[in-house]
């Protein structure tokens, strides 16, 4: 029998830079998305590229080949940070939509280059802030918006890991030229973005302190950022490469006048974790349930959300100029903040 129901449209994606996040999370998300399809992979390491399990995709070692591929409509950029700006400009010039890993750029000037290039070409741009797409964080945003927490007075995030110099053979995250910094530039952007999304607010000021305390490399292995939002809410971020993975190191806490929200093990690449509320009057703790349908990979949610905007002709929910502002805040905090010398 003839099925008159039209097939769902799917956006054709290429992944450029096939490191562990792309390999373990983004590529599976593209393969499982309802409105996206993986059509190409690109990485300078040809051997590593061939080891990635993906059927019926083109494999390239140069960006130019990706941009010449007519099946590629959107590009996920997951290369070292210093390459983001030039690659985004090249993708935009070729008419490809761009989802770029955080930080979008090492400097706000580079971020503005990226935004201008995409606007001139009429293509979509978004920074890959996957944390805002975690089911628990989506639920928490709704609770804040509905006033369940009351007036939020403070917000705190601890997001850390253990990252020794020999973590990978080519650990570009600790190379100041390729990464533009260390733990702060790598991990803090997630928290800066997420708290603005959860609170529906904007950072007004930001101060940073960094350390080189444990690991023998040329970038910071830990940082604390403190700031205030336009509403008056205070924010605190603790990020680190020097926190043993066995410790509790992925927590998000919002203190409100009606309730305190605590999310544990939600910051990161995987779904799951927990979200609880403590009532300000009774002290009673209740757990906020997430259905299996809600609790999907944050990368899957991110890919589907970006693809939907492109396919339906809707703008991305957050203007890219906002991401440039966050880069500027982080850059200024780094320049103004106190950097403690290495203890080695």
* Residue 85, SS3 per DSSP: helix
* Tokens standing for residue 71: 């099946």
Share above pLDDT 70 across residues of the chain, in percent, rounded to a whole number: 96
pLDDT tens-digit series, residues 120-176: 999 999 999 999 999 999 999 999 999 999 999 999 999 999 999 999 888 999 999
Task: Tell me, yes or no, whether 32 lies in a domain.
Answer: yes
The last residue of one of the domains, among 296, 312, 329, is 296
State whether 90 and 153 are in the same domain. Answer: no
pLDDT tens-digit series, residues 258-308: 999 999 999 999 999 999 999 999 999 999 999 887 899 999 999 999 999
Task: Tell me, yes or no, whether 305 lies in a domain.
Answer: no
State whether 112 and 141 are in the same domain. Answer: no
Range of the domain at 51: 11-128
What whole-number distance in Å separates Cα of residue 143 and Cα of residue 152? 11
Q: Which residue has the higher pLDDT, 255 or 340?
A: 255
The last residue of one of the domains, among 128, 160, 182, is 128
- Provide the residue count of the chain: 344
State whether 160 and 122 are in the same domain. Answer: no
Rounded to an integer, the average pLDDT of 95-121 is: 98
Task: Tell me, yes or no, whether 311 lies in a domain.
Answer: no
CB 237 within 8 A of CB 210: no
Share above pLDDT 90 across residues of the chain, in percent, rounded to a whole number: 91
Q: Given strand 74-77, what is the order of strands in its sheet?
A: 58-60, 36-42, 11-16, 74-77, 97-101, 125-128
Task: Tell me, yes or no, whether 329 lies in a domain.
Answer: no
State whether 114 and 144 are in the same domain. Answer: no
Q: Across-strand partners of 125?
A: 98
State whether 62 and 138 are in the same domain. Answer: no
State whether 119 and 250 are in the same domain. Answer: no
Distances (CA, A) of 88 to 49, 53, 117, 321, 324: 21, 26, 8, 15, 14
* DSSP assigned state of 222: E
Task: Tell me, yes or no, whether 245 lies in a domain.
Answer: yes
Quick one: how far is CA 154 from the chain centroid?
Answer: 22
Q: Please give the mean pLDDT across all residues of the chain.
A: 95
Residue 48 pLDDT > 90: no
Residue 16 pLDDT > 80: yes
State whether 290 and 199 are in the same domain. Answer: yes
- For the whole model, what pTM was predicted? 0.95
State whether 151 and 57 are in the same domain. Answer: no
The last residue of one of the domains, among 68, 99, 128, is 128
Q: Given strand 338-339, what is the order of strands in its sheet?
A: 285-287, 274-279, 259-264, 250-256, 152-160, 234-240, 222-229, 203-211, 338-339
Confidence at 2, pLDDT banded by 50, 70, 90 = very low
State whether 39 and 86 are in the same domain. Answer: yes
What whole-number distance in Å separates Cα of residue 283 and Cα of residue 129? 33
CB neighbour class for 202 (10 Å; exposed up to 12, middle 13-18, buried from 19):
middle
Task: Tell me, yes or no, whether 31 lies in a domain.
Answer: yes
State whether 157 and 231 are in the same domain. Answer: yes
Task: Tell me, yes or no, whether 342 lies in a domain.
Answer: no
What whole-number distance in Å separates Cα of residue 295 and Cα of residue 134? 8
State whether 143 and 277 are in the same domain. Answer: yes
Our count of domains for the chain comes to: 2
State whether 36 and 110 are in the same domain. Answer: yes
User: In CATH, what number is assigned to the domain containing residue 101?
Assistant: 3.40.50.720
User: In CATH, what number is assigned to the domain containing residue 230?
Assistant: 3.30.360.10
Task: Tell me, yes or no, whether 330 lies in a domain.
Answer: no
């Amino acid at each position: 029998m003839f099925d008159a129901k039209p097939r769902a449209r799917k956006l054709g994606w290429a992944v450029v830079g096939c490191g562990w996040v792309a390999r373990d999370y983004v590529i599976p998300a593209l393969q499982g998305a309802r409105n996206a399809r993986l059509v190409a992979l690109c990485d300078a390491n040809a051997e590593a590229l061939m080891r990635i399990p993906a059927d019926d995709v083109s494999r390239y070692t140069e960006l130019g080949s990706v941009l010449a591929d007519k099946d590629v409509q959107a590009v996920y950029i997951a290369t070292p940070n210093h390459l983001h700006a030039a690659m985004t400009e090249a993708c935009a010039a070729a008419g490809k939509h761009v989802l770029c890993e955080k930080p979008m750029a090492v400097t706000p000037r580079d971020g503005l280059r990226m935004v201008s290039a995409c606007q001139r070409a009429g293509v979509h741009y978004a920074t890959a802030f996957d944390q805002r797409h975690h089911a628990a964080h989506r639920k928490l945003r709704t609770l804040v918006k509905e006033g369940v927490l009351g007036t939020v007075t403070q917000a705190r995030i601890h997001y850390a890991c253990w990252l020794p110099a020999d973590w990978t053979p080519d650990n570009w995250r600790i190379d100041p030229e390729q990464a533009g910094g260390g733990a702060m530039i790598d991990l803090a952007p997630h928290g800066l973005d997420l708290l603005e999304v959860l609170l529906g607010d904007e950072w007004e000021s930001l101060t940073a302190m960094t350390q080189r305390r444990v690991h023998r490399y040329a970038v910071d292995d830990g940082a604390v950022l403190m700031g205030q939002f336009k509403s008056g809410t205070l924010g605190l971020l603790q990020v680190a490469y020097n926190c043993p993975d066995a410790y509790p190191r992925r927590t998000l806490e919002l203190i409100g006048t009606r309730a305190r929200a605590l999310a544990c093990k939600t910051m990161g690449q995987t779904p799951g974790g927990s979200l609880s509320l403590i009532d300000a009057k009774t002290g009673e703790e209740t757990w906020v349930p997430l259905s299996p349908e809600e609790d999907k990979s944050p990368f899957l949610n991110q890919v589907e959300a970006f693809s939907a905007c492109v396919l339906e002709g809707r703008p991305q929910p957050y203007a890219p100029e906002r991401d440039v502002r966050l880069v500027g805040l982080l850059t200024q905090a780094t320049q103004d903040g106190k950097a403690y010398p290495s203890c080695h």
